[in-house]
């Protein structure tokens, strides 16, 4: 599951913009039938948090379950003409804060770096200490 309603994520960075919050999040999923358990990053990037999500005052390190979100790439310019952004705009409207030990995959490798293309590069799993449980 990538960026969608019901996805579990970990907030890595937060930038409060006043009326909304920009947050860098990471979403991972477990690889089926892997022993030991392995995880694959399905989404890593900046999202906008507005409305209830902004009012919850998100903080780096929190684990969340996204309950209401949207992904768009189109917008209207000042003249009302339809335009398309180069990359999708991901927005979270509501989320549930998850406590440690709660259900949901929020695994994030300890070494996460920003790649040359602006995306994120996931570090390889070295040891069992990298596992979320």
Q: What is the CATH number of the domain that holds 22?
A: 2.40.50
Distance from CA of residue 11 to its chain's centroid?
6
Cα–Cα distance measured from residue 118 to residue 70, given in angstroms and rounded to the nearest whole number: 21
Residue 132's pLDDT band (boundaries 50, 70, 90)? low
**Domain for residue 98, yes or no?**
yes
Average pLDDT for the chain: 77
In total, how many domains does the chain have? Answer: 1
Does residue 122 lie in a domain region? no
Average pLDDT on 109-129 reads 46
User: Tell me, what's the pLDDT at 110?
Assistant: 45
Instruction: Check: CB of residue 17 under 8 Å from CB of residue 49.
Output: no
Residue 51 lies in a domain: yes
- Examine residue 57 and state whether it is found in any structural domain, yes or no: yes
3 located within any domain? no
CB atoms within 10 A of CB 124: 8
């Amino acid at each position: 599951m990538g960026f969608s309603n019901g996805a579990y994520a970990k907030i890595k960075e937060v930038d409060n913009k006043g009326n909304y919050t920009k947050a860098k999040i990471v979403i991972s999923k477990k690889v089926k039938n892997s022993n030991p358990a392995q995880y694959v990053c399905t989404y890593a990037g900046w999202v906008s948090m507005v409305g209830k999500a902004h009012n919850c005052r998100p903080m780096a390190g929190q684990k969340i379950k996204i309950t209401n979100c949207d992904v768009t790439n189109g917008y209207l310019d000042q003249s009302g003409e339809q335009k398309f952004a180069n990359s999708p705009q991901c927005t979270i409207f509501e989320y549930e804060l998850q406590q440690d030990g709660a259900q949901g995959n929020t695994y994030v490798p300890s070494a996460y770096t920003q790649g040359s293309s602006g995306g994120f590069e996931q570090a390889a799993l070295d040891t069992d200490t990298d596992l979320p449980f």
